[in-house]
């Protein structure tokens, strides 16, 4: 009887030992599932992060490509503008050279007796006449006796080193000198005590002397060379 009880006790103990490993396995499997789930979640999060980074980088790449394309287009436009400007500059240089040749040709091939200075033609007479006859000759040539408007013009005429009638007179009112057309006299280059207020000396000449003072008043009947002036 006692032996039978021991046998049953051993059987119950064996059943108990057989159930324990089964519970431990379940716990392990549960932990593995939790870990696997956590890994899957982590991988999913990491994947989303990578996808976001990829999308951002793709967007930045596209923006950079767009910027590059825009800059390339602008560069090409600038190159085209540069080429056009270079071509225009070359054309302007050609026109300038042509104009210089024409200008030189005009200086060399002007009408007989005429000289060009600062866009104005001057007729230098080779004969002598009175002041009134000289002016009449200028008018017939489509010009008039010279009016001196600048120091440069005064220097140019002085360097001719001759005596000439100029378009200056006080015929209308004694002592009031005026240029042709009634233009008042402002800047003067009178020589010494000229004009000397002699009643018969109503016309002016440019004489041989320094630039600063070589005008003289003379009788209009005096015969001198003369200078006509014609603007271009």
CATH number, position 151 = 3.10.100.10
Instruction: Report the C-alpha dihedral over residues 55, 57, 62, 67, rounded to 10 degrees.
Output: 150
Residue ranges making up the domain that contains 66: 1-79
CA angle at 138 for the pair 125 and 174, rounded to the nearest 5° = 100
135 & 73 share domain: no
124 & 214 share domain: yes
* pLDDT under 70: residue ranges of the chain: 1-21, 102-110
At residue 24, the pLDDT reads: 81
Asked whether residue 139 is domain-assigned, the answer is yes
Q: What is the pLDDT of residues 21-80, one digit of tens each?
A: 578 888 888 888 988 888 898 898 889 899 998 999 999 999 999 999 999 999 999 999
220 & 126 share domain: yes
Asked whether residue 99 is domain-assigned, the answer is no
At residue 101, the pLDDT reads: 73
At residue 6, the pLDDT reads: 53
Domain-terminating residue out of 34, 55, 79:
79
At residue 153, the pLDDT reads: 97
Determine the longest span between alpha carbons in the chain, in angstroms: 185
Instruction: Report the C-alpha dihedral over residues 104, 109, 115, 121, rounded to 10 degrees.
Output: -90
Number of domains in the chain: 2
140 & 220 share domain: yes
130 & 212 share domain: yes
At residue 186, the pLDDT reads: 92
Asked whether residue 177 is domain-assigned, the answer is yes
Instruction: Report the C-alpha dihedral over residues 16, 22, 25, 26, rounded to 10 degrees.
Output: -110
Are the C-beta atoms of 145 and 228 separated by less than 8 Å? Answer: yes
72 & 146 share domain: no
Distances (CA, A) of 28 to 18, 31, 36, 43: 17, 5, 12, 22
- Other beta carbons within 10 angstroms of residue 156's beta carbon come to 17
139 & 215 share domain: yes
At residue 77, the pLDDT reads: 94
73 & 168 share domain: no
183 & 136 share domain: yes
Asked whether residue 92 is domain-assigned, the answer is no
116, β-bridge pairs? 121
At residue 23, the pLDDT reads: 82
194 & 132 share domain: yes
Asked whether residue 205 is domain-assigned, the answer is yes
Question: From the CA atom positions of the chain, what is the Rg in Å?
Answer: 56
Are the C-beta atoms of 198 and 217 separated by less than 8 Å? Answer: yes
Asked whether residue 100 is domain-assigned, the answer is no
Domain-terminating residue out of 79, 98, 123:
79
CA angle at 127 for the pair 187 and 186, rounded to the nearest 5° = 5
150 & 215 share domain: yes
Distances (CA, A) of 142 to 95, 122, 128, 146, 231: 30, 12, 19, 12, 10
Give dist(CA 227, CA 125) in Å, integer.
6
Asked whether residue 24 is domain-assigned, the answer is yes
120 & 183 share domain: yes
Asked whether residue 101 is domain-assigned, the answer is no
Are the C-beta atoms of 151 and 211 separated by less than 8 Å? Answer: yes
- Other beta carbons within 10 angstroms of residue 26's beta carbon come to 10
């Amino acid at each position: 009887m006692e032996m039978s009880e021991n046998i049953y006790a051993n059987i119950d103990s064996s059943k108990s030992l057989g159930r324990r490993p089964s519970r431990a396995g379940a716990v392990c499997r549960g932990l593995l599932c939790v870990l696997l789930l956590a890994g899957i979640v982590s991988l999913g999060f990491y994947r989303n992060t990578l996808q976001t980074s990829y999308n951002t980088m793709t967007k930045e790449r596209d923006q950079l490509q767009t910027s590059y394309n825009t800059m390339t287009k602008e560069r090409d436009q600038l190159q085209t503008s540069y080429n056009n400007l270079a071509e225009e500059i070359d054309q302007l240089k050609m026109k300038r050279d042509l104009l210089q040749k024409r200008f030189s040709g005009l200086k060399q091939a002007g009408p007989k007796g005429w000289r060009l200075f600062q866009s104005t033609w001057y007729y230098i007479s080779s004969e002598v006449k009175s002041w009134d006859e000289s002016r009449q000759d200028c008018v017939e040539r489509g010009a008039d006796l010279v009016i001196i408007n600048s120091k440069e013009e005064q220097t140019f005429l002085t360097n001719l080193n001759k005596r000439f009638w100029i378009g200056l007179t006080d015929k209308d009112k004694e002592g009031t000198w005026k240029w042709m057309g009634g233009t008042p006299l402002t800047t003067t280059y009178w020589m010494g005590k000229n004009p000397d207020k002699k009643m018969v000396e109503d016309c002016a000449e440019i004489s041989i002397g320094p630039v600063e003072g070589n005008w003289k008043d003379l009788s209009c009947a005096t015969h001198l060379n003369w200078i006509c002036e014609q603007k271009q």
